[in-house]
Amino acid sequence: MTKPQTILVTGSAGQLGQSIKTIATDYPDCEFVFANRQQLDLSNETSITDFFEHQTFHVIINCAAHTAVDKAESEPELANQINHIAVQKLSNIAKQHNTKLIHISTDYVFNGRQYRPYLETDSVEPQGVYGQTKLSGEQAIRNILKNNAIIIRTSWVYSEYGNNFVKTILKLGQERDSLNVIFDQVGTPTYAKDLAKAIMNIVQGRNFKHVDFTTSIVHFSNEGVCSWYDFAKAIFELANIQCHVNAIETKDYPTPAKRPHYSVLNKAKIKQTYSVATPYWKDSLKQCVIDLQGKVS
Ligand SMILES: NC(=O)c1ccc[n+]([C@@H]2O[C@H](COP(=O)([O-])OP(=O)(O)OC[C@H]3O[C@@H](n4cnc5c(N)ncnc54)[C@H](OP(=O)(O)O)[C@@H]3O)[C@@H](O)[C@H]2O)c1
């Protein structure tokens, strides 16, 4: 009998971590270890050392991150610790034990001034602390792991779990008659379950044990393009909520962190290399809204 592939999922209480958990039973040949912040605290180097002292894994899927984009502006050291220094440490551990690292990064590494979907090779220029620390995390991986790491940049993640745009808009739509939503930031939503499936497709599809793969960056989101305004309109339409959406400009909704105006990701590379599915954003949104409404009723 072949040994199961052992997979550590960090940040397991987050949107992506929980989405991987929901599909884990579809992969009976994998043995998952889900670690939340209490079990593996990436802001604490001792916690990391202790966690890996007596256990090794074939694969680490790093879903943990300091994801509070605005809060990161006022706590840059903590954001850097989690999004950069801890990733450096995980990379060293991965190198030491020949562990494959799948790391999630962000569209916020780009400045958003482009008018065509971003390629992995396009130049980066983060606009805030979150994007900068995530970029430093990417660079740490590439410096330490020449092989066996995959950095997946994604955008606008939502799910049935945690706090996200879809859940916020659904809640506000039930409380208010109208909402102001930004129309001049354009990107693509990503349903965390679709990303979870893509990650597992990559983990399963490659024979990690026998072949060394050069570390690379790939982009993943759902298919299509929208603004936050379009996203909100689609949520109300699918949930059958009567709430008027006013399209406003970014300048009328000031936030501590600057965000890219355009951050659509080109997904050709991940599709060609790993044959992952990238469903149309509205189709996936429908699934999530149905799921969320089922939970409410
Ligand atoms: N959300 C987005 O729109 C978005 C967009 C682009 C890229 N990404 C990237 O996608 C990945 C997954 O994001 P997500 O949406 O699943 O984020 P999320 O829901 O915020 O989950 C992040 C997880 O990281 C955990 N975490 C925070 N600080 C930690 C620490 N010190 N030690 C260990 N764990 C810690 C959180 O723990 P608690 O549950 O205890 O808070 C949370 O469970 C991240 O790398 C993120 O940067 C996200």
What pLDDT sits at residue 296?
Answer: 54
Answer yes or no: is 49 within a domain.
Answer: yes
What pLDDT sits at residue 297?
Answer: 45
What pLDDT sits at residue 109?
Answer: 98
Degrees to nearest 5, angle at CA 84 with 122 and 44: 165
pLDDT of 15 higher than 90: yes
Listed in order, strand segments (DSSP E) in 13-58 are 30-35
Instruction: Reduce the DSSP state of residue 16 to 3 states and report it.
Output: helix
Give the CATH number of the domain where residue 217 resides.
Answer: 3.40.50.720
Going by alpha carbons, the residue nearest to atom 1 of ligand 1 is: 157
CA-62 nearest atom, ligand 1: 45
What pLDDT sits at residue 209?
Answer: 42
How far is ligand 1, taken at its centre, from the CA of residue 5, in Å?
24
Active site residues: 130
When comparing pLDDT for 294 and 210, which is higher?
Answer: 294
User: Which structural domain, as residue segments, surrounds residue 203?
Assistant: 5-160+191-222+265-279
Instruction: Give the model's confidence band at 1: pLDDT under 50 very low, under 70 low, under 90 confident, else very high.
Output: low
* Among 156, 73, 159, CA closest to 107: 156
- The CA distance from 290 to 275, in Å, is 27
What pLDDT sits at residue 4?
Answer: 85
When comparing pLDDT for 169 and 297, which is higher?
Answer: 169
Answer yes or no: is 209 within a domain.
Answer: yes
pLDDT of 2 higher than 50: yes
Answer yes or no: is 167 within a domain.
Answer: no
Answer yes or no: is 186 within a domain.
Answer: no
Rounded to 5 degrees, what are φ and ψ at 224? 105, 180
The mean pLDDT value for 268-273 works out to: 92
Answer yes or no: is 182 within a domain.
Answer: no
Is residue 84 in contact with ligand 1, taking CB distance under 6 Å?
no
**Which tens digit of pLDDT belongs to each residue from 200-240?**
999 987 444 444 489 999 999 999 999 999 999 999 999 99
What is the value of pTM for the model shown?
0.96
The mean pLDDT value for 239-266 works out to: 96
Answer yes or no: is 40 within a domain.
Answer: yes
Residue 12 structure tokens? 């397991």
Longest dimension (CA), the chain: 61
Classify residue 115 as exposed, middle or buried by CB count within 10 Å of its CB (0-12, 13-18, 19+): exposed
Sign of CA dihedral 189, 193, 194, 200: positive
Residue 29 structure tokens? 């040949």
Count of domains in the chain?
1
Answer yes or no: is 256 within a domain.
Answer: no
How far is ligand 1, taken at its centre, from the CA of residue 11, in Å?
6
| Mean predicted lDDT score pLDDT of the chain | 94
What pLDDT sits at residue 3?
Answer: 76
What pLDDT sits at residue 275?
Answer: 87
